[in-house]
Amino acid sequence: MASVPGPQFGAHEPAGHVIVHLSDTHLLAGDVRLGGRFDTAANLRATLEAVERLGVRPDALVFTGDLTDLGEPDAYRALRAAVEPIAERLGAPIVWVAGNHDERPELRRDLLGLESTQQPVTAVRDLAGLRLVALDTSVPGWHHGDLDAAQLDWLRGILAEPAPHGTLLAMHHPPLPSHIPLFDILELRHQTELADVIAGSDVRGILAGHLHYSTSGTFAGVPVSVASATCYTMNLQRPPAQVNGMDAGQSFHLVHVYDDTITHAVVPVVSAETTAVFDDAWLARMAALTPEQRLDAFSRKPLR
Ligand SMILES: [Fe+2]
Ligand SMILES: [Fe+2]
């Protein structure tokens, strides 16, 4: 694994894999503001700076779609220029997933250096025994999601052979309901067929985006985690029919893959004064104690 485990104080073994899950960068060519208000390039920069502050060397950076807002070649080039140097410093591969705002031909040519075609943008990555499969739920000319029989057959073929640490799927449109009506119009079609492919396979989790807010659920018994957006987020402090975008609340997910579970921590991209209670010296003091001494030193409440 690429990350360095810390001391183990709890019941679980350290995570075997760490993934940074980001979504919905919606870059525009020429640093144009999205909708005339959201500075998507600056917001991505702030997010990537936050990723570097994590102090982890992740096994992958996964971007779950809507990489650009209009599929412009210059927007894909700008995305590549923004993310690749950081991925290189972290020693992490980048997994790009297509979303409804992307255009497959430009994404393939200007981001991936591939032939410019309408073929779905799919990928299979072996992340030190953890398999990550990128699906393409985009539908050329439309904003709703879909997975056709050909892509589902391809996925079925991949999943026929289990991976040592199981499989994560990465896709733009989550196979989950939303309480916001606009997203149900744009939902993923053929979910029953997808559930059929996943059933009995080694798929342990699904990473998705599209909603511009963090949420989670299960699909066919598999946990689904939706990362919010780096560009703008949905202001959920409103009745469902009145939910709209705001330039606040951006976040990404820090995903820890353990042998027996997967956790998805939401990391807000904020600048805020932070306390200095815990540091390396505190950790070293705790590590030097027996488990009983640690409980006594850190868990015991003072007598009332
Ligand atoms: Fe989006
Ligand atoms: Fe989307």
CA separation for the pair 139, 118 (Å, rounded): 10
The rounded Å distance from CA 210 to ligand 1 centre is 5
* Ligand with smallest separation from the Cα of 25: 1
- Stretch 59-87: mean pLDDT, rounded? 98
Ligand 1 center to 101 CA (angstroms): 7
Q: If you average pLDDT over residues 257-269, what whole number do you get?
A: 97
Q: Considering the entire predicted model, what is its pTM? A: 0.97
Across 222-239, average pLDDT? 98
CA-closest candidate to residue 176, choices 148, 205, 149? 205
Q: Rounded distance, CA 148 to CA 57, Å? A: 35
User: Rounded mean pLDDT of 186-200?
Assistant: 98
Of the listed ligands, the closest to the CA of 23 is 1
Ligand 2 center from residue 113 Cα (angstroms): 23
The answer on pLDDT for 236 being more than 80 is yes
Can you state the percent helix, strand and coil of the chain, rounding each to 5? 30, 25, 50
Ligand with smallest separation from the Cα of 24: 1
SS3 68: strand
pLDDT of residue 1: 45
Is 186 a residue whose pLDDT tops 70? yes
pLDDT of 246 > 60? The answer is yes
How remote is the CA of residue 274 from the centroid of ligand 1, in Å?
31
3-class state of residue 294 by DSSP: helix
- Count CA within 13 A, CB hemisphere, residue 176: 26
From the CA of 170, how far away is ligand 1's center (Å)?
Answer: 15
**Distance from the CA of 197 to the center of ligand 1, in angstroms?**
26
Ligand nearest to the CA of 100: 2
Residue 104 CA to ligand 2 centre (angstroms): 14
